[in-house]
Amino acid sequence: MYWLDSRLPEHRNVDRVIREAIREGTVINYVTLIEVAHYLRKLPRDEFSIIMERIQSLSTLTAAELDEGTTRVSLELLPEYSLKGLGARDCVVVATMKPLGLGSIATHDHAFRGVKEIQVVDTIPAR
């Protein structure tokens, strides 16, 4: 989210790594895409539509479905990972990553550090 709003002080810390991820290819699930839309919801309608269309039309973006298998894995992960600070949507992210063999995530959400199988890429310095 920090990358989408250049007014935020964290933007400069994430710009390079997010641009690199976009060049190399990135995966997003539809739940996260809806979260992005929620963050942008107060923008003027035209600006909102343009940004969401640009995100969805990135040639290096793979959008993962929230299918029955991902839902099942998310529900299996939730009891354990909620103790580490992850919520239900976070578990959907982890469940999306597992079958795709993805091992790293760019996030400032420290709760993901509790997932052994995931390397957290966080370029925002600690305060």
The CATH number assigned to the domain holding 117 equals: 3.40.50.1010
Q: Which domain holds residue 50?
A: 2-121
- 8 Å CB contact between 54 and 67: no
What residues form DSSP beta bridges with 63?
Answer: 28
In a domain, 7, yes or no: yes
For the entire predicted model, the pTM comes to 0.83
Q: In whole angstroms, what is the distance from residue 94 CA to residue 104 CA? A: 10
What pLDDT was estimated at residue 47? 92
In a domain, 107, yes or no: yes
Residue 15: band (very low, low, confident or very high) from pLDDT cuts 50, 70, 90: confident
Average pLDDT, the chain: 89
Residue 127, pLDDT > 90, answer no
What pLDDT was estimated at residue 2? 63
In a domain, 98, yes or no: yes
Residue 11, pLDDT > 70, answer no
Domain count, the chain: 1
Q: In whole angstroms, what is the distance from residue 93 CA to residue 89 CA? A: 6
In a domain, 100, yes or no: yes
In a domain, 22, yes or no: yes
